[in-house]
Amino acid sequence: MEAEEVGIKVKKLMKMHHYTQKALAEKMGITAKTLARKLAGKQEFYASEIISITKIFGLGIKECAELFFNVRDK
């Protein structure tokens, strides 16, 4: 999945859960500037960051796989 697509999906989660970039960055342990670059698709999210986002927003493994990796049950 393209970095920009992941950024769009994370932004949607942030909006749904009323998170600011600063708040999410702090929870993830990265700077707000780094998060802004990732959300803009200028830098990719690491797998560990995707896992962190999954935990922060309370997503299950299935939801994470569908959202970030386009994995669907058959």
Kindly report, residue by residue over 11-50, the tens digit of the pLDDT. 999 999 999 999 999 999 999 999 999 999 999 999 999 9
pLDDT at 57: 96
Position of tokens 């960051």? 49
Spatial separation of the C-alpha atoms in residues 29 and 27, rounded to whole Å: 6
Structural domain count of the chain: 1
| Residue 17 is assigned to a structural domain of this protein | yes
**CA-to-CA separations, 5 to 17, 41, 52, 66, in angstroms, rounded:** 19, 7, 18, 13
Kindly state whether residue 16 falls inside one of the protein's structural domains.
Answer: yes
* Per-residue model confidence (pLDDT) at position 74: 59
Residue 63 located in a structural domain: yes
Beta carbons within 8 Å of 26's beta carbon, 6+ residues apart: none
Is 49 among the domain residues? yes
Instruction: Give the integer Cα–Cα distance in Å for 9 and 53.
Output: 11
pLDDT for position 66: 87
Give domain status of residue 30, yes or no.
yes
